[in-house]
Amino acid sequence: MKGFILSFRSEFYKTRKTAAFWSSVILPLVICLLLFVGFFSHSDNLAKQPGAMLWFQFAGAILGVMGSLLLPMLIVFIAYSVNNIEHKAETWKTLFSLPISKLSVYSAKYLYALFLVTLCLALFLLFTLGFGNLLSVVKPTLKFNEYHMEGFLTQLYFKLLLSSLGILSIQFLLSLLFRDFLKPMGIGFAATIAGVILAGTGWQYAYLYPYSHAMLTVKSMHEARGGSDHAMPQLTVDLLTKDIWVSLAVSIGVFILGYFIVLKKSVK
């Protein structure tokens, strides 16, 4: 356990000045800031809307891109970055000749990638709520303060996190095995596009395909709202749907598979 904590801290120490780390912070900030500016400058048109609709448009704009492309590609990038730092510096051989178990080194790296994804999603949630509320302060005509969706959004972002675990494990393993940029990136990109198409067309087995999970999660939100157009929207998130179970199973399976590959693999 000590080896794991040391390795995890070292991961942070190594990446704290890299794009991998800062992209997880800057991306949510920039996107939420852009939306803030957009809503602020179009406040006259939006002023008629009730608070609930404002929130849906504000949060939905982010979630729309997030589910289809942003989250999967961010995961592809993070998984690549945390492994590439060792490929580039030729440091796998040093990592695996430290007096620290291979499981600690491997799992610390994996969980650090998961930490970055979690950080990014948490910041998206935080900035969405923060900038939404800020809008109602600086433009009182925008009635963000009349409606609250903190609980719902938190649940939804948590579900997005769970839905990303499958892709994360697969991309992590690909980036661990291939030292070049194109293979994990290319595979990840193609697989994500396929996932968006499969989930978008409503293929009944899309829940089995990890790269569709983020999209399915975002779609489930739209359905929860669309079902009750006239009354107050029904805001519940069904957390443990079957796609989430698949995502969890894939992530655990691939994580274990990856560990055995690390054990057997010769370090070049």
Structure tokens, 233: 């929207």
**Residue 139 binds other proteins, judged by CB under 8 A:** no
C-alpha to C-alpha distances, 182 to 18, 90, 189, 198, 262, nearest whole angstrom: 20, 18, 10, 23, 21
Query: Of 204, 201, 209, 180, whose CA–CA distance to 72 is shortest?
Result: 209
> Of the two residues 105 and 206, which places its CB atom closer to other proteins in the complex?
105
Alpha helices in the chain (DSSP H): 2-15, 19-41, 43-46, 51-65, 71-89, 92-95, 102-138, 150-177, 182-200, 213-226, 242-264
**Residue 93 binds other proteins, judged by CB under 8 A:** yes
> Of the two residues 40 and 96, which places its CB atom closer to other proteins in the complex?
96
Query: Of 265, 244, 242, 262, whose CA–CA distance to 254 is shortest?
Result: 262
The end-to-end CA distance of the chain, in Å, is: 26
- Amino acid 238 reads D
> Of the two residues 101 and 234, which places its CB atom closer to other proteins in the complex?
101
**Residue 91 binds other proteins, judged by CB under 8 A:** yes
**Residue 84 binds other proteins, judged by CB under 8 A:** no
Structure tokens, 47: 């002023």
**Residue 260 binds other proteins, judged by CB under 8 A:** no
C-alpha to C-alpha distances, 175 to 68, 91, 178, 256, nearest whole angstrom: 22, 15, 5, 16
Please identify which residue in 7, 212, 217, 241 interacts with other proteins, judged by CB under 8 A: 7
Site string for other proteins, 42-81 (x = CB under 8 A): ----------------------------------------
Question: Minimal distance in Å, beta carbon 180 to other proteins?
Answer: 18
Question: Minimal distance in Å, beta carbon 188 to other proteins?
Answer: 23
> Of the two residues 7 and 217, which places its CB atom closer to other proteins in the complex?
7
Please identify which residue in 34, 38, 65, 94 interacts with other proteins, judged by CB under 8 A: 94
Number of residues that bind other proteins (CB under 8 A): 24
Residues contributing to the site for other proteins (CB under 8 A): 6-7, 9-10, 13-14, 17-18, 85, 88-91, 93-94, 96-101, 264, 266-267
